[in-house]
Structure 1
Amino acid sequence: MAYEWKELALEDQPRNPLADFALNVMARFTAAEIGLSNEHRPMDRSSDFDQQWWLALVSVTPGLSIAGLMERAADFLPPDHPGSLVIPGEYSEDFRNRQDIDVITLYARRDYLNAANAANGAEQLGIETLLVSTPLESQTLSSPAEPFTPPDLKVPVTPNTVVTAVIDHGVAIAHDLFRRKDINGDLVLSRVDFFLDMDGTPDPNAPVPSTIGRVWTGPEINEILKNNLHNGLLDDAAVYRDLGLIDWKTRPFNACAHRLSHGTHVTGLASGYDASDADGLERRIIVVQLPTRLVANTLGFGLEQAIEQAMSFISQQLVHFQVDEVEQQMPLVVNFSFGNFMGPHDGTGEVSRSIDTIMSNMEASSNRPRLLMMPSGNGNLSRCHAVINLTQAAPTAELDWQLQPADRSASILSVWLPVMTPVKDNTVTMQVTVPGFDTPRTLTAGMTPSYNWLTEQDHLGNTIILGLVVYQPPVAPTARGKFTIAVVPTDNPMRVGLVAPSGDWKLQFVKGNAVDKLSLNIWVQRDETLPDFPEFGRQSYLSDPSYTRFNVPGGKVISEDPVAHASPVRRAGMINGIACGNLPAVIAGYVSSDGRMSAYSAGGPTLNGFRLTGPDASAVSDDSVVLHGVLSAGSNCGSRVSMSGTSVSTPRVARWVADQFAQSPTTPFGRGNVVAKALNDDPPSPHKPSAFRTGGGRMELRNIFGSLRWPGQ
């Protein structure tokens, strides 16, 4: 069968090609995975793809309120339609009537999202832009008709209390490091005051209502702990069954049943204390557990979209803390140890804007400091970033994109133009040649969008879409044009029909006469399978013969671009794509034994003028070159396990930030304070790593559980 290219007419083009790709092109793969996960599962779980609910992060038309958004949705849907839009009940009546909102979260079915993504979506439904997730588990979503009534809860704390919030997955909240003793000396009082399990089933009788998942309060958690404590020992598995964190009947993957769970390890570093440690009594915890289906999805759709609802939940719970029966908001440090490779990397994306808005609002409503901690990412060696420089002397450049065989995840690549409004015709063209197909597809940058499908006919004569190649002109606030290539998986365990060709996808860029020189930034989406998850995604990557991976002789990996680096494929600039906003403190990782940056730790520069160097600081993410990772809490009480990555260096700094808040709870504190600490700990010297990799420097922080590996840590 031969491949064919088809270009959509302007009026038929969706505004966000990746949303269209997730909702429609990937439908047969996603539906197959839903059907596979529903095998031998409860009958009330729908396998109908059109009935699935999706989390969407959307920006609203300026001047339109959420109430207006709901009115337009009601006009769009026929009277007898069961409904395709859910507005979170956490949004108050006042917030729903505001006309100055930017980015919000909503839950919707495919028909609504496709209409919002259509060419007239902004005019018809009031949606300017949208990012969509992979489908949610339907039983985790409720449909509140009205905003929730704020619960009347009181959480008594001391004036020195600091709240640490962790947004993660697989958080074993009953671990002994997150508990304190009652008056009888039993370790049955949790320091987790609020726990939003986005995998949970909403309970209308719960003290804190929720649109997605189940919220557990401190007293509820304490009651479960007491019921499962026997002779001073906790039955971990029974606790997590009661909380719904281990439930083999409804999902095949339960992180808290594993020896190592990412969220438990991270929370242990951020706020894990022995019951006898006095500091632990003043460190209260809020946990948001991300949906398993979003975390497991190797395509990368949706994980970061959930952060808006997570941050909003955390913000709303701060009002319940009281000192001497008087409401008092506590200092707050938030840890979000996830990231991706994609995005504009300049802080103008929907996720970055949402983070900055929520953090600004939280700080403005209180005289207490708030800080969000994020990792720089682990993609330094992934070969997922390239910079193409086109000049009059060298107007043409070529690059290969390698799609691996047996890859059960989609592969996505984006090419960002520099800030340029308008983009003149004949600025640059991109040519894509598919493996096994000699006819390339050429797209030209300008102010007119172009949307192209790569198709093939199956043995029945049906036309199957295998991928898309798109050009989008600049859209505010990211005033840069973008080419996008999205390709379906090269394999699938179920019979879903044709898959994409693996191999060498050839890209050619040609500068036109409209500009004298041009710099293009290329990023490949992260799509490898996360540790312990059963799905099998294989990372696609950029290939160029002049890219040198290893030193000769010796074969040691090269972790920084050499001075005379001739390849367009770069290690530099692989910083976490959602950690490029103005407010989060971004942390890289280094090896304790020799002080070198961990080879995987990603760095800058970013394209955000407020944080050109990339990370703000670095902390230990590996104890030594042979003892990888650092120790922290395992899933079971009393256990300690090792995990590496910038995911573990970040909560170590979050713990230090909490200590600073405790010493001065009303003093303003931001990422600049983190940079200052790093500069003080690691002043300039000939042996100091590049600022693009380490930020201000390598922070010297106490190794919390290091003495278990060797004395003196």
Structure 2
Amino acid sequence: MTYDWTELDPEKLPRDPRTDFVLNELERFIAADLGLGDEDPDSDHDVDLLARRSTAFDKQWWMAVVSVARSGDKISSLTINELIKKAEEYQPVPLSDFLFVPREYDEGQRTSTNLDVITIYAQRAYLDAVNAPDGEEKLGIRSILISTPLEDETLNPGAEPFAPPDLEVDVNQQTVVVAVIDHGIAIAHDLFRRRNGAGELELSRIDFFWDMDGAPEPAADVQSSVGRVWTRREIQNVLDHNIHNGLLDEAAVYRELGLIDWRFSRFKACAQRVSHGTHVMGLAAGYPPDEDTGEDRRIIAVQLPTRLVGNTSGNGLKLPLEQALRFIAARLSKYKIGRASHLPPLVMNFSFGNFMGPHDGTGEIERAIDKELTDMSAATHRARLLLLPSGNGNLSQCHAVINLTGAAPRERLDWNLQPADRSASFLDVWLPVLNPVPNNAMRLKLKGPGSVGSITLPAGMVPQHAVLIDTDENGNPFVVAALAYRPPSAPTFRGKFTVMTVPTDHPMNVGPVAPSGKWKLTFKKGAAVEDLALNVWVQRDDTLPGFPEFGRQSYLSDARYRRFGRPGGDVVAEDPPGHDSPVCRAGMINGIACGNLPAVVAGFVRSDGEMADYSAGGPTLNGLRLAGPDASAVSDDSVALSGVLSAGSSSGSRVPMNGTSVATPQVARWAADQIAASPTTPFGRAKVVAAALNDDPPSPRKPSILRTGGGRLSIESVFGQLRWPGQ
């Protein structure tokens, strides 16, 4: 193997190096993972196979979240219609065939000049043009985040917006709508159904279910640009003709709904004993069929695409959130309380997290969340609350704070890539707010393991980009890693280095892979600046529970980092006093949970009141938030009884699962109860903090605010009596 670092021409650099890396350098891995090109088994020629894969890859549709550029007045934004027109007029080849805007955006939204972040679906030709140096000028897109490609069978492209469905959902004054955005939601579980007048268990409490993995149905009550939307009427029809002798054939229901349709995916969460979405929704809105409260907890469920959830290398798990929130807002507008035009209160739960991002609320998804919540609240004075987990990365060694001073201008750090990792690995180094950044404010040196050489790039106001090229046995070059620097831009105004590597392994022969081992990072401050505080974050890369093995988490290491205490060898869950390693536990809070409006929940152990070792905390870099999460709830019943009980995938079953993702829906359930007691009283993040402070006043044993936020909420266990009587 021959490794060679090559610096690219600054005038030809892609605007977002990560997008370019995923679209182009990861093509051979993504194409192999998706099985592209396998439709012609007669050809054994690698060149022909690569060509077929390239063609098929070009036809893949990607979900992208983009920031819309400002118009000529620098105040208003371009409109969606103007973005479409720019694609139609693009030279030398129009790009309108490689783009479609979600048809959920109505005419009012398509002509709005107050846009910030929107979602689009696009093919590589359009995305590469957007990411070119003149992409903002020619196509009107300021920044871009992309996902893993979507399943073709789930897409419903078109140019015209969908007509608003003629639906109304009548509810009473005590109704609170609970919306769950997750994956693997077994909607026919008995905890989400009610008995009819004859006492038969057949009525669904789910008013709307958007399955982003579903196949579009032209005759459906509600249309969507991706997947299939099921209304309560449609769900009820499926339940009715699959009930035999008073018993529901759940497998038949899920086959009919497409939740265990093996034609579209080799992984179906609802076919497993435990599924994340069912467990979470059971905690947030699951009630025994005879319990009266269940009648007043109406459900909107959104199931995320399996490809985006399972493939961590695309960092696309958070991308569907903007469309999910818009879907929920649109469906909520169909609810009516009696004859009044009032809309019911709403509590939403999204139990996923991400390590990356600026952690100051200025990222695309954080801005989209705040915008959608603001718009929902503007339409009514009823409560609109989104709950997010603080994350489970406290011990992951995926965050470091590099302090460069005149006395200590240099720091070193190791980034460890694991062998047999089928997913790409990413690391970001964020500078503080410096605008402009002086030339050579700092320099980052990257040295690969073994025979891999080194490259050094400076920070300043000029973008930099270098790629590491390896050659196969035939002398064909392949990019296996890249180091890029981008100067500050609105709205973050912080420069950023990004390190990217292809996977370290693949079961197919797709060319050279990245070498596993220690990638050495050296940070050196220049004389042009005073002290610098840099934040380093590594992308989350674990295989998610239940999914086939895919990712292996890369991590940071330093000889001064202490994993275990002495004596005894217990895991050290908080940075100890005098901690002098740049690798730290603090600051590993969920990267998308740093906006202004969502309530963020950490996890603690019920039996001893200690914070769960994995529960991530602050500080965030957003001065409008608490230093850590907003509150914490139980994520484990005890050290011996890990997790908390909730719904398994089949009716009647209860299974344990732990993590801040199960603490969060318990707070969503509690919030719905609080709101139901006073439906017209505003209820937001501040109410969660206030309740936590009241339940867990200051005391010598209260955990740090960086870990627990306002405090530990005293919430009655939902299903805990089944494993621990007396809870």
Q: Which residue of 1 aligns with 2:259?
A: 245
Residue type matched to 2:554 in 1? S
Distance 2:667 2:338 in 1: 30
Equivalent of 1:517 in 520, 523, 531: 531
Q: How does 1:92-111 map to 2 (within 5 A)?
A: 92-111=106-125
Residues 478, 512 of structure 2: 8 Å contact kept: yes
Say if 1:82 and 1:394 are closer, same or farther in 2 by CA, change over 3 A.
Answer: closer
With structure 1 as the length reference, what TM-score do the two structures score? 0.98
Equivalent of 2:63 in 55, 68, 74: 55
Say if 1:40 and 1:661 are closer, same or farther in 2 by CA, change over 3 A.
Answer: farther
Displacement, 1:678? Answer: 0.5
Q: Which residue of 1 aligns with 2:18?
A: 18
Distance 1:680 1:555 in 2: 35
Q: How does 1:241-390 map to 2 (within 5 A)?
A: 241-390=255-404
How many positions carry a matched residue from both structures?
A: 710
Distance 2:38 2:207 in 1: 33
CA offsets 1:547-593 (integer angstroms, 9 cap, x no match): 00011221110100001111110000000000000000000000000
Q: Which residue of 2 aligns with 1:412?
A: 426
Residues 403, 532 of structure 2: 8 Å contact kept: yes
Distance 2:178 2:624 in 1: 26
Q: Which residue of 2 aligns with 1:115?
A: 129
Residues 87, 94 of structure 2: 8 Å contact kept: no
CA offsets 1:418-445 (integer angstroms, 9 cap, x no match): 1111101121100000112363100110
Residues 375, 646 of structure 1: 8 Å contact kept: yes
SS at match of 1:163: strand
Equivalent of 2:477 in 454, 463, 472: 463
59-68 vs 646-655, which deviates more? Answer: 59-68
Displacement, 1:459? Answer: 1.4
CA offsets 1:133-161 (integer angstroms, 9 cap, x no match): 01000110111221111000011111111
Distance 1:387 1:140 in 2: 42
Residues 80, 110 of structure 2: 8 Å contact kept: yes
183-192 vs 517-526, which deviates more? Answer: 183-192
Distance 1:382 1:39 in 2: 41
SS at match of 2:322: helix
Distance 1:78 1:7 in 2: 28
Displacement, 1:231? Answer: 2.1
Residue type matched to 2:438 in 1? K
Q: Which residue of 2 aligns with 1:582?
A: 596
Residue type matched to 1:61 in 2? A
Q: Which residue of 1 aligns with 2:147?
A: 133
Residue type matched to 2:520 in 1? K
Say if 1:391 and 1:241 are closer, same or farther in 2 by CA, change over 3 A.
Answer: same
Q: Which residue of 2 aligns with 1:487?
A: 501
Structure 1 segments, 4+ long, off by >4 Å, are 36-41, 77-82
298-307 vs 484-493, which deviates more? Answer: 298-307
Displacement, 1:80? Answer: 8.6
Q: Which residue of 1 aligns with 2:216?
A: 202
Residues 604, 634 of structure 2: 8 Å contact kept: yes
Say if 1:346 and 1:359 are closer, same or farther in 2 by CA, change over 3 A.
Answer: same
Distance 1:639 1:40 in 2: 44
Displacement, 1:528? Answer: 1.0
Distance 2:263 2:99 in 1: 28
Distance 2:524 2:93 in 1: 52
> Are residues 1:631 and 2:639 paired?
no
Distance 1:576 1:487 in 2: 23
Residues 87, 95 of structure 2: 8 Å contact kept: no
Residue type matched to 2:470 in 1? E
Say if 1:562 and 1:82 are closer, same or farther in 2 by CA, change over 3 A.
Answer: closer
With structure 2 as the length reference, what TM-score do the two structures score? 0.96
Distance 1:543 1:253 in 2: 34
Q: How does 1:534-683 map to 2 (within 5 A)?
A: 534-683=548-697
Displacement, 1:623? Answer: 0.2
Q: How does 1:419-498 map to 2 (within 5 A)?
A: 419-437=433-451, 439-498=453-512
Q: Which residue of 2 aligns with 1:213?
A: 227
Residues 448, 472 of structure 1: 8 Å contact kept: yes
CA offsets 1:632-654 (integer angstroms, 9 cap, x no match): 00000010000000000000000
Say if 1:378 and 1:626 are closer, same or farther in 2 by CA, change over 3 A.
Answer: same
Residues 154, 214 of structure 2: 8 Å contact kept: yes
Displacement, 1:39? Answer: 8.1
Distance 2:94 2:354 in 1: 40
Residues 319, 327 of structure 1: 8 Å contact kept: no
Distance 1:356 1:338 in 2: 17
SS at match of 1:304: coil
Displacement, 1:324? Answer: 2.5
Distance 2:40 2:353 in 1: 33
Q: Which residue of 1 aligns with 2:28?
A: 28
Displacement, 1:28? Answer: 0.3
Displacement, 1:664? Answer: 1.1
Displacement, 1:711? Answer: 1.0
SS at match of 1:200: coil
Aligned CA-pair RMSD? 1.6
Residues 300, 526 of structure 1: 8 Å contact kept: no
Residues 193, 286 of structure 1: 8 Å contact kept: yes
Displacement, 1:37? Answer: 11
Residue type matched to 1:98 in 2? S
Distance 2:507 2:89 in 1: 41
Equivalent of 2:250 in 236, 240, 244: 236
Residue type matched to 1:499 in 2? V
Residues 551, 558 of structure 1: 8 Å contact kept: yes
Percent identical: 62
Distance 2:718 2:362 in 1: 36
What runs of 5+ residues in structure 2 fail to find an aligned partner? 42-52, 71-76
